[in-house]
Structure formats: C-alpha cells, structure tokens
Amino acid sequence: MKEGGLSENGGKAAFPILAFDFGGTRGRCCLGAPDGSYAQVVALERSRDDDGTFWLRRLIQAGREICIHTAGLKLVSVSFGGPVMPDGRVISMHVAGWEKVDLRRELSDAFGVPVCIENDGNSGAVGEHRYGAGRGAHFMIYMTVSTGIGGGVILGDHLYRGVHGMAGEFGHMVLHPGPNAPQFGFGKPGILEALASGSMIGQQGSIAREKMGSRVGKAQLFTEMEAKLGLLTGKDVFDAARRKEGWAIEVRDAAVRHLARGVAAAICAYDVELVVIGGGVAMAGDVLFVPLRKEVNNYLPAFLEGKVEVVQAALGDHGALLGAVASGSDYMQKHNLL
Amino acid sequence: MKEGGLSENGGKAAFPILAFDFGGTRGRCCLGAPDGSYAQVVALERSRDDDGTFWLRRLIQAGREICIHTAGLKLVSVSFGGPVMPDGRVISMHVAGWEKVDLRRELSDAFGVPVCIENDGNSGAVGEHRYGAGRGAHFMIYMTVSTGIGGGVILGDHLYRGVHGMAGEFGHMVLHPGPNAPQFGFGKPGILEALASGSMIGQQGSIAREKMGSRVGKAQLFTEMEAKLGLLTGKDVFDAARRKEGWAIEVRDAAVRHLARGVAAAICAYDVELVVIGGGVAMAGDVLFVPLRKEVNNYLPAFLEGKVEVVQAALGDHGALLGAVASGSDYMQKHNLL
C-alpha cells in the first residue's frame, strides 16, 4: 500500500477505482489502483444534521472532484458504516435516512460504472489483512471501535461474510443485559457497542467528570452541559488516562474490561491467530492495548490464554478506505475489468 | 444414517470404523461404515471417581467387545468432550487426569489402526450436518448443552476448526462477569457454561427448591442435602417446568435468557442460517425451544431478527458418536483407506 503519484497519461494516472468510506462521523474517498496504490484522499466531517441523502450528496461531490485526476474510471468500491443488504441497500445505526437510499443505484447513476459495497467491518478487515497489521496472518478478526463497534473476519486468507454479509458483528453481542443495560443508537440494550464504543467511552468520561465536578463543588454547570452534549470524546478520555488522571483511568479500565470480554468472546467463537483493532479508539495505542491484552487473557479459557495476538491496526483512519480499494481490485479481477 | 445389520462376511459386516464418544458423564462406542450406517452401539455411565485413565480403559474394553462383530477394522474415530491438541492430547474441563493420557497413542496401541480425534462440539456439528437437523444447511452453528456447553461450526458445508481446533467454544464466552459471576469446572467465572449448562441448571433448580423448602417450612433438610449433592438434573428442572411448577419455570427462564444471549452472540459472530442445539438439555424439546427462539430474537440486532432458525438436534444422544463416524469416513477417503 503506497500513495501513488499522478504522472502518466498526460498527467492522469491509471487509477480505475473510486473508493468511498461512509462512516458515521467522517467520510472519505480516494482513487485506487489494483496494486493497492492510492491517491487524492479527501476526508469530510459529517455534520450532525446531515441525513443519509445529504451525506451521500456531499460525498458524491467530493468523489466527482477527485475523478478529474484519473483517466478511465472502471469501478466504485464502497465501505459502508452499517449492514449492507444483498441488493445494495444499507442500514445505519447512527445516521438517519439511509434506509431510503438505494446506495448502489445512486452511485452507479452518478459515476456510470459498476458499484461494489461492503460494510466497514468487512472492508477494514480486508484492508488490514492486505496492507496492514494482518499481513501474513491466515485467520484473523478485525474489530473497529469508533462511533460504534463493527468487525470483519478473515478465514484462510479470505473475507468470511456470513449468510447475510453480517459476520463479525461483534458490536451487537449483548454483554451486559438486565434493567441497567446501557442503550446506544438502534441496538439492543447492553450490547458491546453500548459499553465500549468511542462515543460511549466519551459519554462515560463526561459523566465521570460531571460527578467529579459535583464532588469538588466547581464548574458543575459546565460539566453537566458537557455530559448532555457529549462534549468529551473517547480520545479525550484516553489522552487524560495517558496523563494519569484518575477519573479517566477508571473510565478507560471499565471500557477495556468490556472490550476485552468482546474480544475474548470473538476468539472463543473463531479461534483465530490474530485480532486487529482499528477505529478511532485504537489510535490511543499503548494506553489501550497494554491493559487490553492482559484483560483479554483474563476472559479467555486457559487453553487459549496467550495464544492469540491482539494488535493495533496499522492503517489508522484509512483501513476501511484501503479495504475498499482492495475489494475493488478483487472485484475487477473476478469480473475481468482489469 | 441408519442402524445397519450384521449379516455379510460370514456374519461379520464391513464396518471399518470404530467410533467413540468420550463424554463427561457418558461414553459410547459403535461400529460405523463410510455410508453412515452403524451398529452395536454401547453406552457406559462414567462413575464420579473414574479419572481419565480408568475411563479410557473401560471404553477401550467396550470397544474391543464390539470389534468382534466386524471384519477388517481400519480406523478409530473419536469424539472427545474437551479441547483436542494437534498432537492428539486432550484437555477435559470435567474429568480429572485426561491431560496425562496420550489418547491417540493409547487407542492406536489398543486397536492397531490409525486414530482421528475431534472435540465433541466439532463432532456433533459434523453429525447433525451430515445426518441430522442440519442436512441441507450450508452455514450452521451447533451448540451442545449437556454437562458443559460446547459447539462446532459448519461454514460452506465444511467443519471450520479454527487455528487450534477450538472454534465454536461458545460455552467459554464470559457473559456474566463481576463479583457474583458463577464458576463451573476449570472455566473462567461467568462463562456461558457456568450459566446455562445442564449441570448448572440442575444446581439452580436444587437451590430454588431449597429456598422453597425453607419458605414453606418443610423438607428443608432433604432439600439442603439435595442442593449440596446436586441431586437435581437439568432434565428434572425441564420436566417440572413442563408440569408448570413455578420454581422450575423461573429456573428455566433464567437459563433460557443466558442461553439465548450465547446463541445470539454466536449468530452475531458467524451470521449463519441455522443453529442446531443438542446435548441432554436440548432433549427437553418445546419447553426449552419455544421460549428460547423468542429470547434469541430479543438479543439479536433488528437486522438479524427472525433470519436464523434455531432447532433441536435430530440425533439425540448420538450426534457426536455419528459425527465421529462421519469424520472417520472423511478421514478414510482423504487417506485412501477405503
């Protein structure tokens, strides 16, 4: 995986793939080539009011702008942040209005080429396996911890999709049921996503700071507002934990325990050699991974302890986008578009 | 799958496979043929004091006795109730002393033929897929709920083993952590097996009856002893629930909720079309499956609700044993022993 230049074809390189990554809070697009090189990465922030239709329109516009840099677009390849139906329709747990959008058709109309769509867990898995932390592994689980928690599974070097394309939806495992089960988005109460996603870690951080504010009797109004608006992000919590602030370490430790149970449950199910964790939360690095590795072993049966590596994704923000490039390249090979 | 006769070869039919099922409380052996027919099923109860070595000796003896009915034994195929290492060593969570036994070597010395060993979750999956409730399904999960909880996974019509042969160890997912997490055998606290295995359902039933005894002020000593000795079994609880006894329905409902979370988590991981549940507990039938199906949907994300069938195993007690016949037949084909 390398960022390629734009030199040939009279200034236009042969990047036949337009790759999109439709996330809940961010979207990206780039041009890609079958060898995994890519160029012209554009990232957009989704504003809270953007519904599916509007968000799509903004990303199509961004895609059009970078397409002027390539000659001969042959495929649009999409990573989507939510379940993808076989007919190309999509479901978002975090962005309203996607269910009314016929994503494949809209993109095919906009760019006049075939469109392949994969959910972002699957795309991230393919990206990390092909170009990132999963290179050389034959059986791996990818888990993305950002706005929500998604995942994807590589078995025998191939993406395992499941019957409805939903394999690896580890974020929807109910790990904390009962009357106090936390709720997140459209998921069932007590799912992993409601316990340890970036947004929920931020929210727990806000609540912890609010409590601290009440205790020390200062800035209460500010922290209440902060909690209400969810001003803290998962990153804020991990940054504070790195500075050894007590409230943040507590919130971090709780999130790590939940996440470790999810990772361990995924390992019990799949018995893989490697778990790659990506998404915004994984970028915290050691302040997440050092305690996480320890806790995962605490929740694994003795006969699996220490047998599975848990590592940080190598492609940072770009895993799903580069996974879309890789899936696009596979699609082109399979359909003789090369 | 059919029970074959013993007529040819001068009274000795050609059953080249000796199949074993080493369970925690029961053991079985039979003769099997590559077409799935079988004969001479022998079942033994393990007494509580039998360690691995002694239990193995008893089953070898039983195997020798039925081998007089076949001409030309070519393979021993084993379903083992616990993890099976690549070198043929085994780990039992429920029977002491197995770790000292070199199972493959002992059986190979005893019968003078090659030995293949699969854990009972995998064997049960293969059995139900080949001859039972999973016929025609391409992607299925098998979960066996008896002394413990094991599982196996069929993907694209093939057994998926994982890197260490441990795929489908759903019984070891930690679903109820924390200070009150129940413990079972050598597993970690709060695993599914400690919440909803047959033995734990029996134990919960005993505790419920003890409480009832104290409440109504009668038979307390008896029920205390009962709880201590674990006299109630999972079957007792389901039988009483079928008779609509309140205490049993409560215990059943709690177990069903735990089990449903485990099944739903397994579906989130694998996105299969079918879940087959076997083992002693599954034999309860509708009094288990009617509430279980409802609860599984309660714990699945909306986009998977109603999309996965949850059915009772069709081979009853014999799933793992017949799975060993099927695996033996595959092994013979692969190694040109036919």
| B3 in a structural domain | no
A193: its two tokens: 């996503």
Q: What is the pLDDT of residue B298?
A: 97
Instruction: Tell me the DSSP string of A221-275.
Output: HHHHHHHHHT---HHHHHHHHHTT-HHHHHHHHHHHHHHHHHHHHHHHHH--SEE
My answer on whether B68 and B114 are in the same domain is: yes
My answer on whether B153 and B69 are in the same domain is: no
| B77 in a structural domain | yes
Close Cβ partners of B66 (under 8 Å, ≥ 6 residues apart): B18, B29, B30, B31, B40, B42
| A2 in a structural domain | no
Q: What is the pLDDT of residue B2?
A: 63
My answer on whether A143 and A250 are in the same domain is: yes
Q: What is the signed CA dihedral for A150, A156, A157, A158, rounded to 10 degrees?
A: -60
> Within an 8 Å CB–CB cutoff, is residue B273 touching chain A?
yes
Determine which of A303, A307, A308 to mutate to test the interface with B (most B C-beta atoms within 10 Å): A303
> Which residues of chain B does A191 touch, with a Cβ-Cβ cutoff of 8 Å?
301
My answer on whether B287 and B326 are in the same domain is: no
My answer on whether B153 and B302 are in the same domain is: yes
Q: What are A156-212's pLDDT values in tens digits?
A: 999 999 999 999 999 999 999 888 899 988 899 999 999 999 999 999 998 898 888
| Number of CB atoms found within 10 A of residue A323's CB | 33
* A168, A174, A271 member nearest B164 (Cβ): A271
Q: State how far residue B85 is from chain A, nearest Cα, in angstroms.
A: 10
- If one compares A263 and B84, the residue with the highest pLDDT of the two is A263
Q: What are A90-127's pLDDT values in tens digits?
A: 887 677 778 888 899 999 999 999 999 999 999 999 99
Domain of residue A213: give its range.
Answer: 133-313
My answer on whether A158 and A304 are in the same domain is: yes
Q: State how far residue B35 is from chain A, nearest Cα, in angstroms.
A: 29
Considering chain A, what percentage of its residues have pLDDT values greater than 90? 67
Distance, in Å, from the CA atom of B23 to the CA atom of B147, rounded to the nearest integer, reads 9
Distance, in Å, from the CA atom of A234 to the CA atom of A260, rounded to the nearest integer, reads 16
Name which of B193, B274, B181, B272 is nearest B234 in CA terms: B193
Mean pLDDT of B263-279: 97
Is B174 in contact with A265 (Cβ distance < 8 A)?
A: yes
Distance, in Å, from the CA atom of A287 to the CA atom of A293, rounded to the nearest integer, reads 11
Name which of A203, A192, A94 is nearest A149 in CA terms: A192
Q: What is the ipTM of this complex?
A: 0.90
Mean pLDDT of chain A, nearest integer: 89
Mean pLDDT of B282-297: 97
- If one compares A185 and B2, the residue with the highest pLDDT of the two is A185
My answer on whether A138 and A285 are in the same domain is: yes
Distance, in Å, from the CA atom of A10 to the CA atom of B21, rounded to the nearest integer, reads 70
Close Cβ partners of A120 (under 8 Å, ≥ 6 residues apart): A21, A22, A23, A79, A80, A81, A82, A144, A150, A320
Is A169 in contact with B269 (Cβ distance < 8 A)?
A: yes
Q: What is the pLDDT of residue A2?
A: 62
Answer whether A227's CB lies under 8 Å from A203's CB. Answer: yes
Is A261 in contact with B161 (Cβ distance < 8 A)?
A: no
* pLDDT band (50, 70, 90) for residue A217: very low
Is B271 in contact with A164 (Cβ distance < 8 A)?
A: yes
Q: Which of A19-23, A212-216, A287-291, B281-285 has the lowest mean pLDDT?
A: A212-216
Strand runs labelled E in B171-257: none
My answer on whether A203 and A265 are in the same domain is: yes
Mean pLDDT of B187-195: 95
- If one compares B162 and B229, the residue with the highest pLDDT of the two is B162
Mean pLDDT of A213-233: 57
- If one compares B221 and A59, the residue with the highest pLDDT of the two is A59
Q: What are phi and psi of B287, to 5 degrees?
A: -65, -20
Q: What are A275-310's pLDDT values in tens digits?
A: 999 998 999 999 999 999 999 999 999 999 999 999
Q: What are B46-71's pLDDT values in tens digits?
A: 888 888 888 899 999 999 999 998 88
Is A166 in contact with B303 (Cβ distance < 8 A)?
A: yes
Determine which of A271, A273, A275 to mutate to test the interface with B (most B C-beta atoms within 10 Å): A271
My answer on whether B239 and B189 are in the same domain is: yes
Q: Which of residues 300-329 of A touch B (CB under 8 A)?
A: 300-304, 307
Residue in the structure block whose two tokens are 């379903």:
B79
My answer on whether A190 and A219 are in the same domain is: yes
My answer on whether B91 and B70 are in the same domain is: yes
**Number of domain units in chain B:** 2
Answer whether A126's CB lies under 8 Å from A159's CB. Answer: yes
| B52 in a structural domain | yes
Is B270 in contact with A165 (Cβ distance < 8 A)?
A: no
| Number of CB atoms found within 10 A of residue B289's CB | 17
Residue B152 confidence (pLDDT) above 60: yes
> Which residues of chain A does B170 touch, with a Cβ-Cβ cutoff of 8 Å?
268-269
Q: State how far residue A149 is from chain B, nearest Cα, in angstroms.
A: 12
My answer on whether B195 and B298 are in the same domain is: yes
Domain containing B61 — which CATH number? 3.30.420.40
Is B188 in contact with A273 (Cβ distance < 8 A)?
A: no
Q: What is the pLDDT of residue A6?
A: 55
Answer whether A191's CB lies under 8 Å from A197's CB. Answer: no
> Which residues of chain A does B275 touch, with a Cβ-Cβ cutoff of 8 Å?
none
* B162, B186, B269 member nearest A170 (Cβ): B269
> Within an 8 Å CB–CB cutoff, is residue B262 touching chain A?
no
Q: Residue B16 carries which side chain, given as an amino acid letter?
A: P
Answer whether A79's CB lies under 8 Å from A124's CB. Answer: yes
> Which residues of chain B does A91 touch, with a Cβ-Cβ cutoff of 8 Å?
303
* B83, B177, B264 member nearest A303 (Cβ): B83
| B125 in a structural domain | no
Considering chain B, what percentage of its residues have pLDDT values greater than 90? 67
Q: What is the pLDDT of residue A220?
A: 47
> Which residues of chain B does A81 touch, with a Cβ-Cβ cutoff of 8 Å?
none
Phi-psi label, residue B125: left if phi above 0, alpha if psi -120 to 50, beta otherwise:
alpha
Q: Which of residues 185-204 of A touch B (CB under 8 A)?
A: 186-188, 191
| B2 in a structural domain | no
> Within an 8 Å CB–CB cutoff, is residue A42 touching chain B?
no
| B199 in a structural domain | yes
Q: What are A61-85's pLDDT values in tens digits?
A: 999 999 998 888 999 999 998 888 8
| B253 in a structural domain | yes
